[in-house]
């Protein structure tokens, strides 16, 4: 018998302060006004026009509005793919402030979307002080922006004038500007802002590296870096990249949403396939940390455990969905779990503290590849 209990959050019932409502991504709302009986009676209360121009005739992918708004302390916050962050009255849709990051929409982004923003509260700041509450936004052109939640003005003490350039310090700089993006909201754990990236992983062997990085929420200073393509030769995962391929391969990035268990000092990364997506002859081996669920110590970025969902991914089977944290009751035991599904269509239920499958996982060999130089896992 299996019983699932999603994490219960402590915020106000009407708030939605994180992409998945709570750090573990449960997406559960305790509100009861909308029911099965009255859902068909819902009507549009208001509409907010973002100001995104019609770009449907563009030769490359046009922008897509994929934002999940957050609602905190009576204000709704949204972001557009073109880098406009707005604060709205959730009752009327009236705009309280707007910040325009000035994203160039004609760069040819492969995934032209921004899925949300995050909020951080400075425990050291006086109530009502400037930037005591900050909206943290990651733009499609890879900038991390900190804004005063009350006014929308950049927080001057964060990075350079409120902005951190996420292109700086990458192991592999992007071949082209649009090969490196950020499309999902950062995770906030304590005083850290943790962000992944979206990489054009089907263009060449190393379009860009896919490091996950943690920044100080006050200053924008870099705290730690985790590369899903391991660079430490002493790491056992490094040896799963044959012939030293880890030194030259990019991607395996986390373009989806990172979730966290702050009480256990853990963050959970749904990593993607290494580059290039559909040929692995130059990266033979299991390619560990790619196409995996990786649990890191949030405070240090060190690997606690990992579980690879696809060995030597040749199919672009990214872990596209955010993980979800739940408590599983199975065979009389209560187990803190992380649930992960991805493009393969499989659902993995793992012990959150160890990465051990709670239910058996059967591994099967895939058909041998007929592509010259390829060895399927």
Tell me the catalytic residues. 316
| Secondary structure of the chain as H, E, C letters | CEEEEECCCCCCCCCECCCCCCCCCCCCCCCCCCCCCCHHHCCCCCCCCCCCCCCCCCCCCCCECCCCCEEECCEEEEECCCCEEEEECCCCCCEEEEEECCCCCCCCCCCCECCCCEEEECCCCCCCCCCCEEEEEECCCCEEEEEECCCCCECCCCCECCEEECCCCCCCCCCCHHHEECCCCCEEECCEEEECCEECCCCCCCCCECCEEEEECCCCCEEEEECCCCCCCCCHHHHHCHHHHHHCCCECCCCCCCEEEHHHCEEEEECCCECCCCCCCCCCCCCCCCCEEEEEECCCCCEEEEEECCCCCCCCCCCCCCCEEEEEEECCEEEEEEEEECCCCCEEEEECCCCCECCCCCCCCCCCCCCCCCCCC
How many CB atoms lie under 10 A from the CB of residue 211? 24
Q: Which residues pair with 308 in a beta bridge?
A: 292
Residues with Cβ within 8 Å of 8's Cβ and at least 6 positions away in sequence, in order, are 28
Give the C-alpha separation, 13 to 313, whole Å.
41
Give the C-alpha separation, 131 to 122, whole Å.
8
Omega before 191 within 30 of 0, i.e. cis: no
Chain centre distance of CA 72: 20
CB 6 within 8 A of CB 323: no
How many CB atoms lie under 10 A from the CB of residue 128? 8
């Amino acid at each position: 018998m299996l019983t699932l209990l999603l994490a219960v959050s402590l915020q106000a019932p009407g708030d939605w302060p994180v992409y998945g409502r709570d750090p573990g991504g449960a997406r559960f709302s305790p509100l009861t006004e909308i029911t099965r009986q009255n859902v068909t009676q819902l009507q549009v209360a208001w509409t907010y026009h973002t100001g995104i121009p019609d770009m449907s005739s563009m030769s490359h992918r046009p922008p897509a509005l994929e934002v999940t708004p957050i609602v905190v302390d009576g204000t709704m916050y949204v972001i557009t793919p073109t880098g406009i962050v707005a604060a709205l009255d959730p009752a009327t849709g009236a705009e309280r402030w707007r910040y325009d990051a000035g994203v160039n929409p004609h760069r040819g982004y492969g995934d032209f979307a921004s899925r949300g923003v995050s909020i951080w509260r400075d425990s050291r700041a006086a109530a009502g002080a400037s930037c005591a509450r900050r909206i943290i936004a990651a733009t499609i052109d890879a900038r991390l922006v900190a804004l005063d939640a009350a006014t929308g003005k950049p927080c001057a003490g964060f990075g350079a004038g409120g902005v951190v350039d996420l292109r700086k310090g990458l192991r592999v700089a992007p071949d082209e500007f649009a090969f490196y993006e950020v499309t999902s909201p950062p995770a906030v754990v304590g005083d850290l802002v943790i962000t992944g990236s979206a990489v054009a992983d089907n263009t060449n062997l190393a379009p860009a590296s896919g490091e996950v990085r943690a920044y100080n929420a006050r200053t924008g200073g870099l705290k730690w870096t985790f590369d899903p393509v391991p660079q430490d030769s002493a790491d056992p995962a490094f040896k799963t990249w044959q012939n030293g391929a880890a030194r030259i391969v990019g991607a395996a990035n986390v373009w989806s949403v990172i979730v966290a268990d702050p009480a256990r000092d853990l963050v959970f990364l749904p990593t993607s396939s290494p580059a290039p997506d559909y040929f692995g002859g130059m990266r033979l081996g299991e390619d560990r940390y790619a196409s995996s669920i990786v649990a890191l110590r949030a405070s240090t970025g060190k690997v606690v455990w990992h579980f690879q969902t696809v060995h030597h991914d040749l199919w672009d089977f990214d872990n596209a969905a955010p993980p979800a944290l739940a408590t599983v009751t199975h065979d009389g035991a209560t187990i803190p779990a992380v649930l992960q599904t991805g493009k393969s269509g499989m659902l993995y239920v793992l012990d959150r503290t160890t990465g051990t499958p709670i239910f058996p996982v059967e591994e099967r060999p895939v058909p041998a590849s007929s592509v010259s130089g390829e060895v399927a896992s």
